[in-house]
Amino acid sequence: MRNASVVTEFILLGIPHTEDLETMLFVLFLTFYIFTLMGNLLILLAIVSSSQLHTPMYFFLCKLSVCDIFFPSVSSPKMLFYLAGNSRAISYAGCVSQLFFYHFLGCTECFLYTVMAYDRFVAICYPLRYTIIMSHRACAILATGTSFFGCVQATFLTTLTFQLPYCGPNEVDYFFCDIPVMLKLACADTSALEMVGFISVGLMPLSCFLLILTSYSRIVFSILQIRSADGRKRAFSTCSAHLTAILLFYMPVVLIYLRPTPSPWMDATVQILNNLVTPMLNPLIYSLRNKEVKSSLRKVLYQLNFLPEQR
């Protein structure tokens, strides 16, 4: 990636208006980060160790857990490092890497939620053809596709941001390198690129959201055709966790990237929720109302000696 920049490193100023709160934030964010890693690792172990959960829905949930492990790991270790009193400097290459992997994993999750909605659509609207449509090959192609298109989108956004010259100020008024704050430091007119970035960042989640909305419109219509109240309840319960996770994922994206007048403090607060809290909540969302996952989790926790033997 060519760049005439004389800036070799950036200084992360952290979350705005949180001076003298470093110790409290360090403990809070470290707790969130540990629970995020543990929760998603347990979900992975529960699914991998139970042959009952080797279905397309749980295959995609496995990939979501992997993304939820790496997504907060893009920015959290560096943030915890400087909150502990260490250097706030990040190299130019490190900044590029942060931005790329943040958008790569974020876009991959966005596509993944769309695929998971399609999986639920096939399961509920075409139950007799489900195993044929969602074959192992189809699942592998869909899972690979989410990462491929996530990589394409992230490469485009990263190239768009860092092909600009950075030759003056190097203080990033944020806790990690992201597009809006990096464009402010560029030594060139960024108005056209801001518009292109706005359209690109907005168009992709909007397209995915419309596809998810289409899938769930068909799902709701199909569920309402079920005569049994118990059958309707079971069908809705299988989708409620996914819908909750979608809302938690898309609300921060809209608030951060699609608002006409950005607010650094508000953006940072919402971004923390998106980076740490949502990945931490996903294991709870997908396990609390799912008897199969809860049963498998109990077995995993028992094997790890976290639970007493059930008699």
pTM above threshold 0.85: yes
The rounded distance, in Å, linking the Cα atoms of 303 and 199 is: 49
Look-up of token digits 């009952």: 52
**Chain centroid offset of residue 212 CA:** 16
Determine which of 72-86, 101-115, 137-151, 286-300 has the lowest per-residue pLDDT on average.
Answer: 286-300
Instruction: Work out the average pLDDT over 212-225.
Output: 87
In the DSSP assignment, the letter for residue 1 is -
Per-residue pLDDT of 251-286, as tens digits, reads 777 776 666 666 667 777 788 888 888 898 888 887
**Mean pLDDT taken over the chain:** 84
Torsions phi, psi for 15 (to 5 deg):
-75, 125
What pLDDT was estimated at residue 183?
87
Neighbours of 1 (CB within 10 A): 9
List, for residues 1-35, the tens digit of each pLDDT value: 444 447 888 999 888 777 788 899 999 999 999 99
Q: Is the dihedral of CA 221, 225, 229, 230 positive or negative?
A: negative
| CA-closest candidate to residue 179, choices 85, 284, 253 | 253
